Structure 1
């Protein structure tokens, strides 16, 4: 648009000069000569103004990494079907899947699903609509991170490193010195090329973050009237009772196991001691003479 305006102004200036030359006498008047440079200057200023606006817009461009976080709620029975439909829709829209998984109900825990992907901004509304169809969106959050400084730094490093690599290549092609200098040039060229590849990888990662939106969708089960969370205190109480009973039983078993060796040794010893005592008492009774008949006390 700016280029067409500048061209029109230049054409206007040329037409003024030609019209002046076609007048009687073949020479333009003073007003025409004054108008022609003014038109040319206006065209130049317009072109410069349009170029300045382009440079300013390029300088003011911001590179933002947008992240969307949603929580979709549905019944436990329909949760997996809703998760699958959103994943399939995401793949159909050409999104980049970063993470996708579903955990089924087990041991009383509620099922859960998650989806994390990067998608083009133009396809984002379709994915959000699919998420709304997969259940009830109970939370929705958007965050952004400015990556402008990192992008500018990466592009400047790419430019400078590319120029250095090209100079090293030219020096290597024209190298006529000792073999040691040639090897050193090749080594430096390989190092610079590796650094350039690393910066290109960083710029590619920044482009993926800023040119596509990251979306995270969590799928949670809707609680029923008698939900697991409501009955969990009662279940925990029964678990505590069972744990106390089993703990006490385990303690008794440990005590019995610890006392068994002593019982195996102590019971026979006690029996032998009692038997020895009974025999001793019997011997004493036998050793005492019985009194004669009629010799009792008077």
Structure 2
């Protein structure tokens, strides 16, 4: 946005912008502007590079042009008609024909026509400037993999708490499943040894 403002309104115009922050390390936003094609081409390349260097990414980058050909043709024709009317009114005033009321009415009409001419001229110039420029819409966001804040380790720990707990429980179940046959076998061996030992004591 600063680059567009620095370039001047004849080269670039900011149409809209927004920045949204989610915590300390998550940022997203968009930028809409209209600029000359050559300047816009350089700007698009610089934006992608700057976003990557800042640990973010450009999520969308769209350029469009506006077809105002018919509007310019129609406005130019109406402007020429108004200019011709203005010239006729001026000629009438210069001839000094008619009554005082006629002259006053002609002066008011001239002022009205001149106001319309000025407005149409400004609109026509703006339309021609818009045709000479391209519209750019950019959306960008910080990269969650590279962004970092002081709370991120704790946040990640809470996120992995459930997964870690379930994994530990699964490991315990697997351990029991692997060892219980040996436990049963050990009990059987102990029972046999006990019976054998008791038999020896009775004989003694």
Name the TM tier (shorter chain): 0.5 to 0.7
Gapped regions of structure 1 (runs ≥ 5):
1-85, 236-298
1:87 matched to 2:2: yes
> Structure 1 length as normaliser, TM-score?
0.42
After the TM superposition, which of the residue ranges 218-227 and 135-144 deviates more from structure 2? 218-227
1:139 matched to 2:60: yes
User: Given the superposition, is the C-alpha separation of residues 160 and 182 from structure 1 closer, same or farther in structure 2, using an over 3 Å criterion?
Assistant: same
| SS of the residue 2:21 aligns to | coil
Instruction: Select the structure of larger CA radius of gyration.
Output: 1
Q: How many residues are paired up?
A: 145
Q: Which residue of 2 aligns with 1:192?
A: 113
| SS of the residue 2:32 aligns to | strand
| Offset from partner CA, 1:121-154 (integer Å, 9 cap, x none) | 2222111111121223333333333211101001
User: Given the superposition, is the C-alpha separation of residues 132 and 114 from structure 1 closer, same or farther in structure 2, using an over 3 Å criterion?
Assistant: same
Separation in structure 2 between the aligned mates of residue 152 and residue 132 of structure 1, nearest angstrom: 38
User: Given the superposition, is the C-alpha separation of residues 96 and 183 from structure 1 closer, same or farther in structure 2, using an over 3 Å criterion?
Assistant: same
Q: Which residue of 2 aligns with 1:112?
A: 28
| SS of the residue 1:105 aligns to | strand
Gapped regions of structure 2 (runs ≥ 5):
52-56, 160-204
Question: Among 82, 90, 96, which residue is 2:12 paired with?
Answer: 96
Matches within 5 A, 1:34-183: 87-88=2-3, 90-94=4-8, 95-99=11-15, 101=17, 103=19, 105=21, 110-135=26-51, 136-183=57-104
User: Given the superposition, is the C-alpha separation of residues 116 and 183 from structure 1 closer, same or farther in structure 2, using an over 3 Å criterion?
Assistant: same
| SS of the residue 2:65 aligns to | strand
Aligned CA RMSD, in angstroms, stands at 3.2
Q: Which has the higher contact order (CA 8 A, sep 6+)?
A: 2
Q: Which residue of 1 aligns with 2:162?
A: none
Runs of 4+ in 1 over 6 A off after TM superposition: 225-228
Separation in structure 2 between the aligned mates of residue 121 and residue 190 of structure 1, nearest angstrom: 39
